């Protein structure tokens, strides 16, 4: 049998040296935002019971989960999502906490993506959950925190904002089953106009069909609302549009300008979203690096009904982008290498400490000779070797 001793599994990678430093830098900046806004850190197990993620509204297919069995024959999975474990935690260990509860996390999630898709099976995420509160203030707090978090690691970004109830309200007016609704949703999400038109052409023409057909094109600024209210007039989607317009107007003082975009074709895959939904993009990264929204019904599944909203940031993607920027450096190379002659080792170590305290990146040579130390410095590109003794 072939042994895989020198490679990593598909969809995973090692983070080395500058990559690890960049990851720490990115996560540190985001964490500073979360802590400054009163969110408290939690860590959930990397292995959870399958039941936590098998609820109908999870939006996570069983095929995408890495599964295993414990010593009692119970089905376990490697954590594919962080929101559901936090919902479990709040409904049990934090059930008597004063509400609202502000939580944040930094942990990996695991998804069993098909091979050859280029997607990662392990990715680091940071995110927040605001639980036990609903309404405009809570939504503005989540959105403004998302803006602060993404702006702490990127200047050229955009936030796309939508509302789950726009599509849900319109689709409820159609005589279709859940499978047909999901096909329509996927077509809207992918902005696949051809597939969407084919699906809608089979339905009886009505106001809702016409409105759904237009959702993928309702993308932009303030002007989107004028067209959306006209298209959705006399439908149940108007209430959601009114609320979304209020959210948009409230965010204007943040000075986001064209960084804030309304996207009524934003129909998230996770079925538990009940209100605002949003994604964040950074220029140079094709996929969204931030996604979230309101999910007021999710905690009811865990017998702890309460309002909830949150978002997650793909810190792996941000790190890879940061490393590709030519004006950013995460060098682990010291400025000076200290070599101590025999009997002067402690003096050399003390000198390293003094240099570091003075702001110089210094390293103590553990090699046995000055010649070997100089050769090592040359290979590493270290400019200076100091000799003690």
pLDDT tens readout for residues 280-300? 999 999 899 999 999 999 999
Long-range contacts, 106-111 (Cβ 8 Å, 24+): 106/27, 106/31, 106/41, 106/315, 107/43, 107/44, 107/46, 107/79, 107/82, 108/46, 108/79, 109/79, 109/80, 109/81, 109/82, 110/65, 110/66, 110/78, 110/79, 110/80, 111/11, 111/64, 111/65, 111/80
Q: What is the pLDDT of residue 189?
A: 85
User: What span, in angstroms and rounded, lies between the C-alpha atoms of 319 and 124?
Assistant: 10
Q: What is the pLDDT of residue 240?
A: 95
Give yes or no for residue 57 having a pLDDT over 90.
no
The hierarchical CATH code for the domain 336-388 is 3.40.50.800
pLDDT band at 328 (very low <50, low <70, confident <90, very high): low
Residues 6 or more apart in contact with residue 284 via CB below 8 angstroms: 156, 321, 324
B/e letters for 202-216, b = 16+ CB within 10 Å, e = fewer, are: eeeeeebbebbbebb
Distance of CA 12 to the CA centre of its chain: 17
Its pTM surpasses 0.85: yes
Task: Looking at the chain, list the stretches that DSSP marks H as alpha helix, in order from N- to C-terminal side.
Answer: 18-36, 83-92, 136-151, 164-171, 178-189, 193-201, 207-214, 223-231, 238-251, 298-301, 315-324, 345-357, 370-380
Can you spell out the DSSP letters for 158-177?
A: EEEEEEHHHHHHHHTTS---
Q: What is the pLDDT of residue 60?
A: 86
pLDDT band at 116 (very low <50, low <70, confident <90, very high): low
Which CA distances in Å does 4 have to 1, 7, 10, 111, 116? 10, 6, 12, 21, 19
Give yes or no for residue 311 having a pLDDT over 90.
yes
Supply the angle between the helices 193-201 and 178-189 in degrees, to the nearest 10: 150
Task: State what percent of residues in the chain have pLDDT above 90.
Answer: 75
User: What span, in angstroms and rounded, lies between the C-alpha atoms of 235 and 231?
Assistant: 9
Can you spell out the DSSP letters for 32-56?
A: HHHHHTT-EE----SEEEGGGG-SG
pLDDT band at 119 (very low <50, low <70, confident <90, very high): confident
CATH 3.30.930.10, domain 12-154, yes or no: yes
Give yes or no for residue 130 having a pLDDT over 80.
yes
Range with lowest mean pLDDT among 5-19, 316-330, 341-355, 357-371? 316-330
Q: What is the pLDDT of residue 59?
A: 79
Q: Could you report the per-residue pLDDT of 245-280, keeping only the tens digit for each?
A: 999 999 999 989 899 999 999 987 656 789 999 999
The token pair that represents 222 in the structure block = 């303030």
**Quick count: other Cβ atoms within 10 Å of Cβ 338?**
22
The pairing of beta strand 122-131 with beta strand 101-110: antiparallel
Give yes or no for residue 117 having a pLDDT over 90.
no
Q: What is the pLDDT of residue 326?
A: 60
User: What span, in angstroms and rounded, lies between the C-alpha atoms of 34 and 102?
Assistant: 9
Mean pLDDT of the chain: 92
CATH architecture for the domain at 157-282: 2-Layer Sandwich (3.30)
Q: What is the pLDDT of residue 51?
A: 96
Give yes or no for residue 48 having a pLDDT over 70.
yes
Q: What is the pLDDT of residue 268?
A: 73
User: What span, in angstroms and rounded, lies between the C-alpha atoms of 312 and 315?
Assistant: 9
Domains 157-282 and 336-388 equal at CATH topology level: no
The token pair that represents 220 in the structure block = 């932009």
Q: Could you report the per-residue pLDDT of 148-205, keeping only the tens digit for each?
A: 999 999 999 999 999 999 999 999 998 898 889 889 998 998 888 899 999 999 998 9
Give yes or no for residue 331 having a pLDDT over 80.
no
231 within 8 A of 131, measured Cβ to Cβ: no
**Residue pointed to by tokens 């990851």:** 23
The domain limits of the chain are: 12-154, 157-282, 336-388
Which CA distances in Å does 285 have to 126, 267, 318? 17, 20, 8
Give yes or no for residue 329 having a pLDDT over 90.
no
Q: Which of 185, 262, 201, 252 is nearest to 227 (CA)?
A: 262
Q: Which of 78, 135, 86 is nearest to 111 (CA)?
A: 78
pLDDT band at 360 (very low <50, low <70, confident <90, very high): very high
């Amino acid at each position: 049998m072939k042994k895989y001793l020198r490679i990593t599994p598909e969809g995973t990678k090692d983070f080395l040296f500058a990559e690890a430093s960049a990851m720490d830098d990115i996560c540190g900046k985001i964490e500073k935002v979360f802590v400054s806004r009163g969110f408290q850190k939690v860590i959930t197990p990397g292995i959870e019971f399958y039941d936590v993620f098998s609820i109908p509204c999870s939006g996570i297919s069983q095929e995408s989960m890495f599964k295993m069995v414990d010593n009692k024959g119970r089905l376990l999975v490697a954590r594919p999502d962080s929101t559901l474990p936090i919902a479990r935690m709040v409904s049990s260990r934090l059930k008597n906490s004063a509400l609202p509860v502000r939580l944040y996390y930094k942990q990996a999630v695991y998804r069993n993506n098909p091979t050859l898709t280029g997607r990662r099976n392990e990715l680091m995420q940071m995110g927040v959950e605001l639980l036990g509160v609903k309404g405009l203030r809570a939504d503005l707090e989540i959105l403004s925190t998302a803006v602060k978090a993404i702006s702490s690691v990127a200047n050229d970004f955009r936030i796309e904002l939508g509302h789950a109830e726009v599509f849900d309200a319109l689709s409820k007016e159609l005589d279709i089953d859940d499978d047909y609704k999901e096909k329509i949703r996927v077509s809207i999400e992918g902005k696949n106009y051809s597939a969407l038109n084919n699906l809608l052409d089979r339905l009886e023409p009505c106001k809702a069909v016409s409105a759904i057909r237009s959702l993928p094109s309702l993308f932009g600024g303030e002007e989107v609302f004028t067209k959306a209210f006209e298209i959705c007039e006399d439908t149940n989607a108007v209430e959601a549009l009114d609320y979304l317009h209020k959210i948009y107007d409230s965010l204007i003082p943040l000075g986001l300008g064209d960084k804030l975009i309304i996207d009524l074709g934003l129909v998230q895959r996770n079925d538990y979203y009940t209100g605002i939904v949003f994604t964040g993009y950074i220029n140079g990264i094709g996929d969204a690096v931030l996604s979230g929204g309101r999910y007021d019904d999710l905690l009811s599944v865990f017998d702890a009904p309460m309002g909830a909203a949150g978002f997650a940031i793909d810190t792996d993607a941000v790190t890879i982008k940061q490393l590709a920027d030519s004006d950013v450096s995460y060098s682990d190379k010291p400025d000076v290498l200290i070599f101590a002659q025999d009997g002067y080792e402690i003096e050399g170590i003390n000198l390293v400490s003094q240099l570091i305290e003075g702001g110089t990146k210094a390293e103590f040579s553990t090699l046995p000779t000055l010649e070997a130390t100089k050769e090592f410095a040359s290979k590493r590109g270290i400019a200076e070797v100091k000799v003690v003794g």
